């Protein structure tokens, strides 16, 4: 099978680490990003330097029209997507639920729940044997927050990842007989720029001392699990979760 991988939100952080690790495993890789074209092109250049094929496509993956444009572009350049990592997500400033606006809640559910579900829909139309595809593999990037709930910080974000977990469980069973595996990773405190969005870019450094392992994780440590779940090495794994929380 020609392997075509889409990693949403892969211009930096966990998405970029995943794409770079996958570069040595025979995928043609689409780097998706929201706004940082220079960073996305930089990841593509690193992938090409490793001898693999990559292209960067801007698309807001919380919007179905943009998702359809993204998949059509991949169809035209690489062929149909066979592997998908639903990685792009957002988070808002820390606050209590009493202070959360309707706009904030809708935005987070669109980017963290509806977006991954719609990307999955358009991937299944290409991967599933029910639709004439050759099968495939999907990995959802959830969070330890789905288990812990993130009180007084971002219960909305935690709940969005809880929804993604339930989606993973149900979808895995729905498409298991169609050649498509669906799994998830749940990272804990990972050193990326994501935390600046919640108002504290130094969050991991401040909190990592309280973790059982005493340190935050790296994007590459999460990527290792994602790339394994994506691969045929994980051929009997579906509906499963790998927690990467340093013991949290």
| Residues belonging to the active site | 157
Instruction: Pick the closer one to ligand NAP by CB: 95 or 129.
Output: 95
Part in contact with ligand NAP (CB under 6 A); list of ranges 12-20, 48-56, 94-102, 146-154: 12-20
Q: Does 241 bind ligand NAP (CB under 6 A)?
A: no
154 three-state secondary structure: coil
Q: Where are the alpha helices (H) located in the chain, listed in sequence order? A: 13-22, 37-49, 64-77, 102-109, 115-127, 145-148, 155-175, 203-207, 219-230
Would you say 59 and 82 are in contact if contact means Cβ atoms under 8 Å apart?
Answer: no
Instruction: Pick the closer one to ligand NAP by CB: 128 or 192.
Output: 192
Distance CA 165, CA 183 (A): 9
Q: Does 18 bind ligand NAP (CB under 6 A)?
A: no
Instruction: Pick the closer one to ligand NAP by CB: 88 or 138.
Output: 88
Q: Does 141 bind ligand NAP (CB under 6 A)?
A: yes
* H or E stretch at 85: strand 83-86
Draw the binding track, 173-212, toward ligand NAP (x: CB under 6 A; -: no contact): --------------x-xx-xxx------------------
Contacting residue, 13, 80, 136, 162, with ligand NAP by CB under 6 A: 13
Distance CA 54, CA 57 (A): 10
Contacting residue, 4, 6, 67, 88, with ligand NAP by CB under 6 A: 88
How near is the Cβ of 205 to ligand NAP at its closest, in Å?
12
Distance CA 98, CA 8 (A): 31
How near is the Cβ of 2 to ligand NAP at its closest, in Å?
24
Part in contact with ligand NAP (CB under 6 A); list of ranges 84-92, 123-131, 146-154, 167-175: 84-92
Q: Does 92 bind ligand NAP (CB under 6 A)?
A: no
Q: Does 11 bind ligand NAP (CB under 6 A)?
A: yes
The sheet carrying 3-7 orders its strands as: 53-58, 27-33, 3-7, 83-86, 136-141, 180-187, 241-244
Q: How far is CA 27 from CA 50, 53, 64, in A?
A: 12, 8, 25
Sites of contact with ligand NAP (CB under 6 A): 8-15, 32-36, 39, 60-62, 87-90, 111, 141, 143, 187, 189-190, 192-194, 219
């Amino acid at each position: 099978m020609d392997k075509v991988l889409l990693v949403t939100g892969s211009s930096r952080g966990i998405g970029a680490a995943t794409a770079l690790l996958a570069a040595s495993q025979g995928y043609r890789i689409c780097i998706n990003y929201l706004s940082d074209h220079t960073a996305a092109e930089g990841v593509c250049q690193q992938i090409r330097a490793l001898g693999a094929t990559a292209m960067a496509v801007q698309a807001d993956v919380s919007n179905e029209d943009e998702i359809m444009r993204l998949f059509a572009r991949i169809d035209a350049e690489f062929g149909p997507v066979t592997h998908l990592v639903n990685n792009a997500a957002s988070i808002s400033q820390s606050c209590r639920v009493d202070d959360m606006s309707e706009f904030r809640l809708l935005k987070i559910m669109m980017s963290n729940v509806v977006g991954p579900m719609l990307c999955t829909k358009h991937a299944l139309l290409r991967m599933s044997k029910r639709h004439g595809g050759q099968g495939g593999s999907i990995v959802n990037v959830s969070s330890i927050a789905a288990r812990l709930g993130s009180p007084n910080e971002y219960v909305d974000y935690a709940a969005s990842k809880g929804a993604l977990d339930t989606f993973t469980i149900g979808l895995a069973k729905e498409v298991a007989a169609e050649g498509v595996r669906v799994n998830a990773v749940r990272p804990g405190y990972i050193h990326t720029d994501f935390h600046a969005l919640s108002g504290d870019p130094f969050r991991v450094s401040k909190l990592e001392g309280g973790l059982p392992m005493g340190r935050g994780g790296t994007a590459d440590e999460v990527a290792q699990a994602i790339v394994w779940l994506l691969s045929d090495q994980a051929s009997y794994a579906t509906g499963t979760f790998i927690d990467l929380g340093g013991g949290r």
